Amino acid sequence: MIRILSIAVILLGLATAAQADVYRWTDAHGTVQYSDKWVPGSTLIKTDKNHVAPSPAPATSAPASSTTPRSPDPVSQQQDQRAVQQDVAKSKADQCKQAQEAYDKAVRSRRIYKEGTGGTREYVSDAEADAYRVKLFNDRKQACGN
């Protein structure tokens, strides 16, 4: 009986921990960030129904409507979902581009090297270079989906 009760308590604790508010904001580098904690300038995109959102501190330069939590109406939820999907698609496209560039660079290079101590170049063997290229090929395949 104690075993069943302890498992039930653990599962209940995990279920309540998984529910949280999600905030979205753009950092100084232009990257969209998501967090469960409010940051100045962030907008609430997913609300936990059981949790009361913290009231944000008054911002001096940001309009009040961008920092206050929105009511979960279907139109704003759809817009938020589309924004999240666009952010995810952009992130995947960036990862694909980086993987493609790394693979192309490795294929064009005659010799591949590692940075040694003191900034010296240590050239790898042909077998290690081929293994590195295969790894980059698989990374590109995973990132780009082809």
State both tokens at 24: 């979205």
Band of residue 65 on the pLDDT scale cut at 50, 70, 90: very low
First and final CA of the chain: distance in angstroms? 52
Mean pLDDT (whole number) for 19-44: 79
**Does pTM top 0.85 for this prediction?**
no
CA–CA separation, 3 and 5 (whole Å): 5
123: closest CA among 133, 110, 135, 136? 110
**Alpha carbons 36 and 42: distance in angstroms, whole number:** 11
Model pLDDT for residues 83-128, shown as the tens digit of each residue: 888 888 888 899 999 999 999 999 998 888 888 888 898 899 999 9
Place of tokens 């192309």: 104
CA–CA gap between residue 133 and residue 69 (Å, rounded): 48
